[in-house]
Amino acid sequence: MKTQTDVVVIGGGIGGCSTLYHLTQEGITDCVLLERDELTSGTTWHSAAQVTNFGATQTMVGLKSHSIRLYKELADDPDYPINYHHGTGGIRLASTQDHLDGYKHFISLAKGVGVDFDLIDPEECARRHPLITTDNLLGALWDPLDGDIDPAQLCQALVRRARKAGAEVYRFTPVTGLTQQPDDSWIVHTEKGDIRAGKVVNAGGYRCNEVGAMMGSVLPVASMEHQYMLTEPIAAIEALDFRVPLIRCPTDDFYSRQEKYGLLVGFYEQDCRTWGLDGIDANFTMALCPDDLDRVIDTMEGAFARLPCLTETGIHSVINGPITYTPDGLPLVGKVPGRRNAYCITGLRAGLGEGGGHGWLLAQIIAHGEACYDTWCLDPRRFSSYANVKYTALKAIEDYQNEFRFHMPHEHRPAGRPARATPLTARLQSMNAEFTTVNGWERADYFKPNPDFRQALSFRFNNTFDVVRKEVEAVQHNVGIMEVSGFNRYEISGYGIHDWLDGIMCGRVPRKAGKVGLTYFLNADGNVKGEATLANLGEDAVWFGSAAAAELHDLDWLQDRLPKDGSIRITSLTGSHTSLVVAGPNSRAVLTKAAPRTDWSKEAFPWLSVQSVFIGSAQAIAMSVSFSGELAWELHIPNEQLLLAYERLLSAGTEFGIKPFGLRATDSMRLEKGYRHWKADLITEFNPMETGLDRFVRLEKDFVGKAALEKAIAKGSRRRFVSLTVDSPDAAAHPGDSIRLDGHVVGTVTSAGWGYRVGRNIAMGFVEPACAKLGTELTVDVVGTPSSAVVCEGCLYDPANERVRS
């Protein structure tokens, strides 16, 4: 066995095997895979192994289509052909208009990464799958490349190629410990000796938390039992000269595919079970959980109704195995939070279909620091400490119960909530707040007109349209107040902080005490990594503020770049402070009344400045910044005084008719201003010039990513960020929708919504440079309808910023 290598991958399921193979493809050929038993002995061996292109984001569709391309290539390898039913086709049923609307959106989204789906009617479903009934069916999404693969052969084929390229695989070699060395490399302890590795990858499947514990990390992954049954042969299938397509049903929670001349039918029952939360027997390997078809009876009835042949067919066998889930159903692929040179590819719940792609992206991250797609939706740092074992289990159950039910726009499912609340949450609830969640925090989305109001979830404008409009109007014409819970903030203190920040941010760092600036930071490729508001609080203190979701991401990025001499410290204030925004033309009057010791005039407290203030007895850091485009202040208040400050502001605002507003109103207003949103519009696939942030880049100084950015500028833009007005009367576009010119896809929507102040439907996105000129006429698929769109000014509302400066 080797004693030293570049990368050790722990676990030989599809996650580990795919990572190993792709590492060799990315140039890391000195790598090792360690498997405690036989390859695929965890979940992989008994997987139903369906392989679809379908996904809810372009990153997911893109990585799945990589799997499909790779598996096809492996299946066609004459030296080691594997069983892959490529292109059987799959039908995703729709029994409601919402399902159909969702599919129309996903068809448009997939088109942008070169994947074709179709919408088919019930008759076509029955023609393609002669065994189904069409009762209550409105149509379906057709994925022509859906299929299934032999999971063990697939892993063997990947490992075979990896070995050929130089990788080594040690089976029956359990990893027993991990010790990080002072140089940040790892000693990987095994029963057969130690290996020193530059980097380690946790691909431990349902044992990922055993491996995680060895490096002191807890991953939000919980396993669920999952069952499918295999039937005896079915005469109607034997009589066909083609394989029946796969079926997935979001109403009755089952899937089905052909297996030999019978059917494999799997169930996502409501009465589901977590598995292994209290520890896993060391001998559970190549093993299954006991069958329990009783608890899937309800789900089975739905499957039998859709496939009546099942009522006359015997059950040949049942498979019940553990399958891993994360709180949002997407895996953890990337850097392990807070650990250096440690990565994971865990929480795979559809690992056969996705594993090829996840291994591909992870290998790129390990080899180059970043993948070809923005991988935030997979990044382990998207969850922080709130995602504990209980929360993860509750979310895993919820996700399992909704396996084929995609999230509707603005849908925030209830399990595990509230996970993070502020002292104001209950108060806002008493004011009829409807909450959304942001990095686990409860945040008011909008305020219901009455306690019984229920949002009708839809891909189209719904009954919240006028509710949000009223909140925007209050902010535009008068004054509103919003709690921005979980807003991410660090205090950066110590010696030389301004110079240090100057070297890591691509833009201007506010050098004068009392000044605030918006700046961006880039990755080594010169693409956009993050956005921060920097508030200069003096010679040795800066507040760094960013999106709530960026909590661990930004901390990791900053900490990785800290001077080694300990001269600079980062203290997180995210959990101890909360922000209130007071916005609107009367915000100054309200603040003057609530905090009379401060001079809030435009001369004394101009736009983009910061001061320490008292809101009554509550001490706050106040910044004159605005995400709404109206005159506004952000007040950062210690949590113990938050309620006090809020009540004082409300009572000061009574005479002005102050109104609470939520995230939905803010989102509408920021679209009108052309402000980008982190990980919607600000992604690692594009550099700041392509993202239209030229004015935030100071090429005259040195900063992280500058060399790569200069090269990219010399090469020219791949895409350009634009704002569009879209002619669509009953719906906004959705992130991922395709933007077209003469029918050809030329770009993708990154965020969209109705702009109440300008009375226009707005979309933002990246388009081919030739389509970025003002006035270019394009179309955007809005819930399946090609809608005229025109490239417009980035800022549609008060472009001179007169209102924020007023």
Ligand X SMILES: Cc1cc2nc3c(=O)[nH]c(=O)nc-3n(C[C@H](O)[C@H](O)[C@H](O)COP(=O)(O)OP(=O)(O)OC[C@H]3O[C@@H](n4cnc5c(N)ncnc54)[C@H](O)[C@@H]3O)c2cc1C
319 or 790: whose CB is closer to ligand X?
Answer: 319
State the chain's maximal CA–CA distance in angstroms.
86
Among 188, 203, 336, 631, binds ligand X (CB under 6 A): 203
Minimum distance from CB of 17 to ligand X (Å)?
Answer: 7
191 or 710: whose CB is closer to ligand X?
Answer: 191
How far from each other are the two terminal CA atoms of the chain, in whole angstroms?
Answer: 71
> Using the rule CB under 6 A, is 323 a contact of ligand X?
yes
Whether the CA torsion 230, 235, 237, 242 is positive or negative: it is positive
Q: What angle do CA 768, 770, 775 make, to 5 degrees?
A: 105
Contact positions with ligand X (CB under 6 A) in 84-143: none
> Using the rule CB under 6 A, is 14 a contact of ligand X?
yes
Minimum distance from CB of 147 to ligand X (Å)?
Answer: 10
19 or 587: whose CB is closer to ligand X?
Answer: 19
Among 212, 220, 321, 334, binds ligand X (CB under 6 A): 321
Minimum distance from CB of 101 to ligand X (Å)?
Answer: 26
Q: What is the DSSP string of 673-704?
A: HT---BTTTB-TTS-TTTTT-GGG--TTS--T
> Using the rule CB under 6 A, is 349 a contact of ligand X?
yes
227 or 488: whose CB is closer to ligand X?
Answer: 227
> What is the rounded CA–CA span in Å between residue 374 and residue 157?
28
> Using the rule CB under 6 A, is 705 a contact of ligand X?
no
211 or 722: whose CB is closer to ligand X?
Answer: 211
Which one of the spans 1-9, 273-281, 350-358, 577-585 is the region binding ligand X (CB under 6 A)? 350-358
> Using the rule CB under 6 A, is 530 a contact of ligand X?
no
Three-state SS string over 633-667 comes to: EEEEEEHHHHHHHHHHHHHHHHHHCCEECCHHHHH
Cβ contacts of 491 within 8 Å, gap of 6 or more: 541, 542, 543, 544, 570, 571, 573
Minimum distance from CB of 477 to ligand X (Å)?
Answer: 52
Contact positions with ligand X (CB under 6 A) in 44-73: 44, 46-50
> What is the rounded CA–CA span in Å between residue 523 and residue 369?
8
330 or 649: whose CB is closer to ligand X?
Answer: 330
Among 7, 8, 42, 90, binds ligand X (CB under 6 A): 42
> Using the rule CB under 6 A, is 352 a contact of ligand X?
yes
3-state helix vs strand vs coil in the chain, percent to 5: 30, 30, 40
> Using the rule CB under 6 A, is 256 a contact of ligand X?
no
Minimum distance from CB of 32 to ligand X (Å)?
Answer: 11
> Using the rule CB under 6 A, is 205 a contact of ligand X?
yes
> Using the rule CB under 6 A, is 13 a contact of ligand X?
yes
Cβ contacts of 152 within 8 Å, gap of 6 or more: 39, 40, 44, 45
Q: Count residues contacting ligand X (CB under 6 A)? A: 42
- Please say whether the beta carbons of 548 and 420 come within 8 A: no
> What is the rounded CA–CA span in Å between residue 479 and residue 740?
39
131 or 350: whose CB is closer to ligand X?
Answer: 350
Per-residue binding letters, 161-180, with ligand X (x by CB under 6 A): -------------xx-----
Neighbours of 154 (CB within 10 A): 29
Among 129, 226, 382, 577, binds ligand X (CB under 6 A): 226
How do beta strands 342-346 and 193-202 pair? Answer: parallel
Minimum distance from CB of 400 to ligand X (Å)?
Answer: 11
Minimum distance from CB of 356 to ligand X (Å)?
Answer: 10
- Please say whether the beta carbons of 385 and 218 come within 8 A: no
> Using the rule CB under 6 A, is 319 a contact of ligand X?
yes
Among 41, 375, 392, 493, binds ligand X (CB under 6 A): 41
Minimum distance from CB of 259 to ligand X (Å)?
Answer: 11
Contact positions with ligand X (CB under 6 A) in 267-286: 285
Among 8, 12, 391, 517, binds ligand X (CB under 6 A): 12
> Using the rule CB under 6 A, is 222 a contact of ligand X?
no
Amino acid code (one letter) for 246: L
> Using the rule CB under 6 A, is 37 a contact of ligand X?
yes
175 or 683: whose CB is closer to ligand X?
Answer: 175
Among 204, 220, 735, 736, binds ligand X (CB under 6 A): 204
Minimum distance from CB of 128 to ligand X (Å)?
Answer: 19
Beta strands in 25-95 (DSSP E): 31-34, 50-51, 84-85, 90-94
Which one of the spans 70-78, 204-212, 525-533, 714-722 is the region binding ligand X (CB under 6 A)? 204-212
Among 36, 64, 443, 673, binds ligand X (CB under 6 A): 36
Among 19, 25, 43, 728, binds ligand X (CB under 6 A): 43
Minimum distance from CB of 320 to ligand X (Å)?
Answer: 7
Closest CA to 796 of 690, 692, 630, 671: 671
Amino acid code (one letter) for 300: M
- In whole angstroms, how far apart are CA 142 and each of 48, 88, 567, 604, 685? 20, 11, 58, 62, 29
Cβ contacts of 383 within 8 Å, gap of 6 or more: 220, 326, 327, 440
Q: Reduced to 3 states, what is the DSSP secondary structure of residue 492?
A: strand
126 or 287: whose CB is closer to ligand X?
Answer: 287
For residue 613, what is the enclosing H or E element?
Answer: strand 610-615
CA–centroid distance for 331 within its chain: 10
195 or 568: whose CB is closer to ligand X?
Answer: 195
> What is the rounded CA–CA span in Å between residue 209 and residue 211?
5
Tokens standing for 18? 């795919």
DSSP category for residue 510: P
Whether the CA torsion 361, 362, 363, 365 is positive or negative: it is positive
Tokens standing for 100? 């159909």
Which one of the spans 348-356, 480-488, 551-559, 774-782 is the region binding ligand X (CB under 6 A)? 348-356
Minimum distance from CB of 319 to ligand X (Å)?
Answer: 5
> Using the rule CB under 6 A, is 353 a contact of ligand X?
yes
> Using the rule CB under 6 A, is 206 a contact of ligand X?
yes
> What is the rounded CA–CA span in Å between residue 565 and residue 554?
21
> What is the rounded CA–CA span in Å between residue 646 and residue 652?
10
Minimum distance from CB of 391 to ligand X (Å)?
Answer: 21
199 or 349: whose CB is closer to ligand X?
Answer: 349
Among 70, 310, 348, 767, binds ligand X (CB under 6 A): 348
Label residues 376-389 b or e (16+ Cβ within 10 Å = b): bbbbbbbbbebbee
Which one of the spans 92-100, 320-328, 641-649, 787-795 is the region binding ligand X (CB under 6 A)? 320-328
377 or 749: whose CB is closer to ligand X?
Answer: 377
- In whole angstroms, how far apart are CA 19 and each of 80, 152, 357, 401, 544? 19, 16, 9, 29, 35
8 or 632: whose CB is closer to ligand X?
Answer: 8
Query: Which spans of this chain sit near ligand X (rule: CB under 6 A)?
Result: 10-16, 34-37, 41-44, 46-50, 174-175, 203-207, 210-211, 226, 228, 285, 319, 321-323, 348-353
